[in-house]
Amino acid sequence: MGGKRLGKREYIFLCIAGLIFFSHLSCAPTMERAVVPGKSKPVIIEKEGCLHLDVLEPLARHEDFETLLKQKQDALTALPKNRPADELLFSLGLLYAHPENPKKNYKKSLAFFKRVINEYPRSVCAAEAKIWAGVLEDIEKAAKVDLEIEQKKKELGK
């Protein structure tokens, strides 16, 4: 009746493909007010909403993940308390979840995305962070189900 069950890897690749698809849908420019010297009124500037593209740009230049993670962590600790850290937290979440990162850590990634959602709910990054958090939670659930299935198979095989 049912087809072949998707394995853990196929599910992860499917989730990542979905994230890429949905993240491109959310690449809408946003408007930001900025004070320009010599102007009495704030000027509205268009700002790109696809922050993840900026994060992934150094990877295209073949920079390693450890260097990028260290740079982002250092920038996060050096950031003044009154400055929002949503973009840095979001980029750290992306780097920890990146499929080519040899030391990827979905739990750390999820923690960074949840910080963005909780600490900066009105941020441009919050909507994308919610999507990523949902997918990473689904991946964790799928991994638990796969472990349970393997345990049941071992029990039945005895």
Q: Put residue 33 in one of left, alpha, beta given phi > 0 → left and psi -120 to 50 → alpha.
A: beta
157 — pLDDT class (breaks 50, 70, 90): confident
Q: Kindly give the interhelix angle for 106-119 and 86-97, rounded to the nearest 10 degrees.
A: 160
Quote the pLDDT of residue 31: 45
Between CA 139 and CA 4 the distance in angstroms is: 19
- Give, as one character, the DSSP assignment of residue 64: -
Handedness of CA 62, 68, 70, 74 (dihedral sign): positive
Quote the pLDDT of residue 68: 86
pLDDT tens per residue across span 38-66: 555 554 444 444 455 566 666 656 668 88
Quote the pLDDT of residue 80: 84
The domains found in the chain, sorted by start residue, are 8-157 (1.25.40)
Between CA 145 and CA 149 the distance in angstroms is: 6
**Higher pLDDT pick, 11 / 108:** 108
Query: Rounded to 10 degrees, what is the CA torsion of 82, 85, 87, 91?
Result: 160
Task: Evaluate whether 106 touches 140 at the Cβ level (below 8 Å).
Answer: yes
pLDDT tens per residue across span 53-110: 566 666 656 668 888 888 889 988 888 877 888 999 999 999 999 888 888 999 999 9
- Say what the pTM is: 0.63
